[in-house]
Amino acid sequence: MRSIVFGYQIGAIALLGCIAGTAVADALLTQAQGIFKPLPKDMATAEYPITPARVELGRALFFDPRMSLNGTVSCARCHQPSLYGTDGLPTSIGVMARDNPRNAPTVLNAAQEFIAHWRGDRKNVEDQATKALFGPPSFGEPNAESVIAKLKAFKEYQVMFKKAFPKDKDPITTANWGLAIGAYERTLVTPSPFDAYLKGNTKALSPMAMRGLSKFISTGCASCHSGAGVGGGMYQKFGLTEDYWKATGSKKIDKGRFDVTQDQADMYVFKVPSLRNVAMTPPYFHDGSVATLPQAVRIMAQVQLGKQLDDADVNEIVAFLDSLTGKLPKNFATPPVLPVGAFQTSQK
Amino acid sequence: MRSIVFGYQIGAIALLGCIAGTAVADALLTQAQGIFKPLPKDMATAEYPITPARVELGRALFFDPRMSLNGTVSCARCHQPSLYGTDGLPTSIGVMARDNPRNAPTVLNAAQEFIAHWRGDRKNVEDQATKALFGPPSFGEPNAESVIAKLKAFKEYQVMFKKAFPKDKDPITTANWGLAIGAYERTLVTPSPFDAYLKGNTKALSPMAMRGLSKFISTGCASCHSGAGVGGGMYQKFGLTEDYWKATGSKKIDKGRFDVTQDQADMYVFKVPSLRNVAMTPPYFHDGSVATLPQAVRIMAQVQLGKQLDDADVNEIVAFLDSLTGKLPKNFATPPVLPVGAFQTSQK
């Protein structure tokens, strides 16, 4: 009898715990749904539509190095499928081995951010793609004429541009280069377990990831890292409670958006990055100064929120961040075979 | 009655023509089977076996740029899936934008060639892969210790090397780097319509491609471009009947294998390249000095065989060469997701 009573008691406690647990879990889901959003199916807008012809063209251009100064840089140089749309470097290295000032963020889900580049000096992915052609440490092209001449050397690109921009009399332009690559990038969405969770499937996250989510919110991370991107929606000063370069050991102090606006309020201000696929895209921060995700989480809590997280906190938050990893989109995981053709002499 | 007799006569002529055509086609197939061979299923040998663990490791290493001097060069830098295993450049550009002396041949089917590199100064794909680590204009690494330290920084690579070389006490070596990449490359086979033809399916080639094959043989091309690779089986002087640099407009005279052996007989001697996938891999020749396949065919006939081909000849031979294009192997078309990790500071 005792054992039965005992069993009954344990059962009751387990049941109560379960009801309480469910209530807590439901409350967390409701809270999360108020802060975050599932990723959209794609990132098209009225102004930047996705048409199959634009996406096909943009996908080819994204992977084609032949239009760069010496034929070695495509978008995929800094946004490689194997490295989840990054280059794995602290700061990128472009054409002629020229150094870029900042870390290359992943191209995955990037089109849904409110602005492009760490300092917000590119309007959107289309603007970024076009301007990358002329960035000395990216593609390094001297002018639009040079790019256009190279594109026109490929009959297949002539046909593809015409098909992608049927109303344009002369469709091979650097603006259309950006529109096509942008259309492609607007398809690069990586839904993850966290999206399934936000849609109501509370089993999509492990208990540890849910505790991490709860801590991510209660610690204050979600006040900036929110929305569908879990970030990518606002600017913020890096180093609110102490200097970021001391905590990260960064070698070079970067004034961030101040250098764009010359506004003192923008000193050390950067775009809050999206945390989608963050577990797959080290190293971290605008300068790639931190190599591991636990360390990045620890530093963020310290310099943005004035909090010291213990190892258990960090591990749980990292478990939550792991739930933001989605599968690579098929049209990114498998690069296209490019139009056949080559230039007879080096382009340098 | 006349019309019936007439019809009968035409029928008889057509039948005779058909029998004659079949006999000609059969003779061509028999002749081709004596010169060429279908590609093997893979390119493993007793000395260089393919094991799943080696291939998996080699495939990751092939696409991983993080072990190079500044983290920008992997094997895939010069052997891109999008460009059929080439870089599309006349001559390759490696780490720190350093110039390579020669054109990067496709990695597809390369393992079955009798020797590696244009001048035969690499024994095989394994030797090539290992030595590429230290080539100043390829990966640019200073020494084995540097490569090994970088590899060991990745726990996942530690596990993968152990699995790939289970008998080795300390499996992370630059020799094993080469063995693993070689094992992967020995899987990169691209059977094409020509292989189906060689196996007896005479419908696998168009009539034009068959005429091209016939001309390829009768012109003399097949005396060097033979075997499973349609080339890749011997050395030959480039410019047997006249100087190659005059016909190609090449800017730099390359003494070829002479610079390796100092033997006068090796002056201007290069490996006869395999023509597998040649239609997809411009520009052509050791110096990439010729941009189109018809022009390359014309020049080869001229400088190797002393023959001037007319446009019809060239077009037919090109139609035959088109039949050497196979599909990209799946494990090459889709690069792997790499072990996660990054170095905190630039490797320069």
Q: Reduce the secondary structure of chain A to three states and give it as a string.
A: CHHHHHHHHHHHHHHHHHHHHHHHHHHHHHHHHHHECCCCCCCCCCCCCCCHHHHHHHHHHHHCHHHCCCCCCCHHHHCEHHHCCECCCCCCECHHHCECCCCCCCCCCHHHCCCECCCCCECCHHHHHHHHCCCCCCCCCCCHHHHHHHHHCCHHHHHHHHHHCCCCCCCCCHHHHHHHHHHHHCCCCCCCHHHHHHCCCHHHCCHHHHHHHHHHHHHCHHHCCCECCCCCCCEEECCCCCCHHHHHCCCCCCCECHHHHCCHHHCCEEECCCCCCHHHCCCECCCCCECCHHHHHHHHHHHHHCCCCCHHHHHHHHHHHHCCCCCCCHHHHCCCCCCCCCCCCCCC
Assess A283–B contact: CB distance below 8 Å, yes or no: yes
Instruction: Indicate the SS3 state at residue B151.
Output: helix
How far is C-alpha A198 from the chain's CA centre? 19
Interface test with B, best of A66, A70, A89, A251 (most B CBs within 10 A): A89
**Pairwise CA distance, residues B285 & B303, whole Å:** 13
**Pairwise CA distance, residues B171 & A255, whole Å:** 45
pLDDT for the residue A13: 57
Across the interface, whether the CB atoms of B87 and A64 are under 8 A apart is answered no
Q: For chain B, how many residues are written?
A: 348
Kindly report the nearest CA distance between residue B221 and chain A, in angstroms: 23
Across the strands, what pairs with B284? Answer: B290
Kindly report the nearest CA distance between residue A314 and chain B, in angstroms: 18
Across the interface, whether the CB atoms of A338 and B83 are under 8 A apart is answered yes
Instruction: Tell me which chain B residue has its CA closest to the CA of residue A84.
Output: B337
- Is the confidence at residue A6, as pLDDT, over 90? no
Q: Terminal CA-to-CA distance of chain B, rounded, Å? A: 91
How far is C-alpha B340 from the chain's CA centre? 31
Across the interface, whether the CB atoms of A282 and B335 are under 8 A apart is answered no
Arithmetic mean of pLDDT, A9-22: 61
Kindly report the nearest CA distance between residue B89 and chain A, in angstroms: 7
Give A342's contacts in chain B (Cβ within 8 Å).
88-90, 282-283, 288, 291
Confidence (pTM)? 0.94
- The upper half-sphere exposure of residue B93, i.e. CA atoms within 13 Å in the direction of its Cβ, equals 21
Give B81's contacts in chain A (Cβ within 8 Å).
335, 337
Q: Which of B71, B335, B340 sits opposite A282 (nearest CB)?
A: B340
ipTM of the complex: 0.93
Which range, of A9-23, A65-79, A154-168, averages the lowest pLDDT?
A9-23
Q: Which of B91, B251, B334 sits opposite A333 (nearest CB)?
A: B334
For residue A200, what are its two tokens? 């109501």
Arithmetic mean of pLDDT, A287-310: 98
- Is the confidence at residue A4, as pLDDT, over 50? no
Instruction: Tell me which chain B residue has its CA closest to the CA of residue A279.
Output: B340
Arithmetic mean of pLDDT, A244-272: 96
**Pairwise CA distance, residues A20 & B80, whole Å:** 55
Give me the residues of A, 179-238, that contact B with CB < 8 A: none
pLDDT for the residue A5: 46
Instruction: Tell me which chain A residue has its CA closest to the CA of residue B331.
Output: A334
Q: For chain A, how big is the Rg over CA atoms in Å? A: 23
**Pairwise CA distance, residues A43 & A113, whole Å:** 10
**Pairwise CA distance, residues B106 & B104, whole Å:** 7
The CA distances from residue B221 to A119, B36, B114, B116, B119, in Å, are 59, 12, 18, 21, 20
Give B321's contacts in chain A (Cβ within 8 Å).
none
Block residue for tokens 């110096």: B287
Determine if the peptide bond prior to A283 is cis (ω within 30°). Answer: yes
Kindly report the nearest CA distance between residue B56 and chain A, in angstroms: 14
pLDDT for the residue A335: 98
Across the interface, whether the CB atoms of B71 and A87 are under 8 A apart is answered yes
For residue B245, what are its two tokens? 């640099």
Across the interface, whether the CB atoms of B291 and A83 are under 8 A apart is answered no
Across the interface, whether the CB atoms of B89 and A335 are under 8 A apart is answered no
**Pairwise CA distance, residues B277 & A60, whole Å:** 20
Instruction: Tell me which chain B residue has its CA closest to the CA of residue A93.
Output: B72
Q: Which of B229, B192, B1, B18 is nearest to B110 (CA)?
A: B229
Assess A153–B contact: CB distance below 8 Å, yes or no: no
Please indicate whether residue A343 or residue A243 has the higher confidence score (pLDDT). Answer: A243
Q: Which of B72, B96, B335 sits opposite A82 (nearest CB)?
A: B335
- Torsion angles phi and psi, residue A22, rounded to 5: -65, -40
pLDDT for the residue A11: 52
| Position A119, amino acid | R
Q: Which of B82, B89, B93 sits opposite A337 (nearest CB)?
A: B82
Residue pair B117/B47 in contact by the 8 Å Cβ criterion = no
pLDDT for the residue A7: 47
Across the interface, whether the CB atoms of A90 and B63 are under 8 A apart is answered no
Q: For chain A, how many residues are written?
A: 348
pLDDT for the residue B22: 84
Across the interface, whether the CB atoms of B282 and A342 are under 8 A apart is answered yes
Number of Cβ atoms within 10 Å of the Cβ of A9:
10
Interface test with A, best of B70, B89, B156 (most A CBs within 10 A): B89
Q: Which of B83, B87, B97 sits opposite A97 (nearest CB)?
A: B97
Block residue for tokens 């996660």: B340
The backbone region for A160, taken as left when phi is positive above 0, alpha when psi lies in -120 to 50, beta otherwise, is alpha
Give B283's contacts in chain A (Cβ within 8 Å).
342-344
Find the DSSP H helices in B44-154: 52-63, 75-78, 125-132, 144-152
Percent of chain A whose predicted confidence (pLDDT) is above 90: 91
> Averaged in consecutive runs of 10 residues, what is the pLDDT profile of chain B (348 residues)?
48 59 90 98 97 98 97 98 98 97 98 98 98 98 98 98 98 98 98 98 97 98 98 98 95 95 98 98 97 98 98 98 98 98 68
Instruction: Tell me which chain A residue has its CA closest to the CA of residue B61.
Output: A82
- Is the confidence at residue A348, as pLDDT, over 60? no
pLDDT for the residue A205: 98
Arithmetic mean of pLDDT, A244-265: 96
- Is the confidence at residue A9, as pLDDT, over 80? no
| Position A213, amino acid | L
Instruction: Tell me which chain A residue has its CA closest to the CA of residue B340.
Output: A280
Kindly report the nearest CA distance between residue A94 and chain B, in angstroms: 9
Across the interface, whether the CB atoms of A71 and B84 are under 8 A apart is answered no
Q: Which of A211, A198, A171 is nearest to A57 (CA)?
A: A171
Arithmetic mean of pLDDT, A227-237: 98
The pLDDT tens digits of the residues spanning A180-200 come to 999 999 999 999 999 999 999
